[in-house]
């Protein structure tokens, strides 16, 4: 069966510090990978998605970036955090296919507080 791991679960960082969140998927090959952010009381917002190694699409312009160095590894980064970057960051994967859709499967997230 497929599993998705995210770490760390909780993170407190000062404004202006760098960020690196990591996500790995097991039990599947060539997945689509996604980073979502969930702000308190709001729905999920898609930040980045990737259909393959080195292929990143950004949905929201901001001071965050994403990278996919390996097929099942997805990293979310920032050089300098802002207070507004606080939130619950969720990594997700879906089956990559030709046409059609497959639902997303989420990890348990990283709760980031920028102080």
Task: Closer to other proteins by CB, 34 or 76: give it.
Answer: 34
Calpha distance 11→8 (Å, rounded): 7
Select from 19, 24, 25, 34 the one that contacts other proteins (CB under 8 A). Answer: 34
Half-sphere exposure (CA, 13 Å, Cβ side) for 40?
6
Candidate ranges 12-20, 44-52, 68-76, 79-87; the one touching other proteins (CB under 8 A):
44-52
Ramachandran angles phi, psi of 85, nearest 5°: -80, -10
Nearest Cα neighbor of 46 from 103, 102, 91 is 91
Size of the site for other proteins (CB under 8 A): 28
Q: In the stretch 6-25, what mask flags binding to other proteins with x, by CB under 8 A?
A: x-------------------
């Amino acid at each position: 069966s497929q599993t998705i791991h995210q770490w760390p679960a909780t993170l407190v960082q000062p404004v202006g510090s760098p960020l690196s969140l990591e996500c790995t998927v097991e039990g599947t090959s060539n997945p689509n990978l996604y980073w979502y952010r969930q702000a308190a009381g709001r729905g999920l917002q898609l930040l980045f998605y990737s259909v393959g190694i080195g292929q990143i699409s950004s949905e929201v312009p901001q001071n965050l970036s994403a990278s996919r160095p390996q097929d099942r590894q997805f990293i979310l980064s920032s050089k300098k955090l802002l207070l507004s970057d606080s939130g619950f960051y969720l990594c997700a994967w879906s089956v990559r296919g030709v046409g059609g859709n497959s639902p997303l499967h989420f990890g348990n997230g990283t709760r980031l507080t920028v102080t």
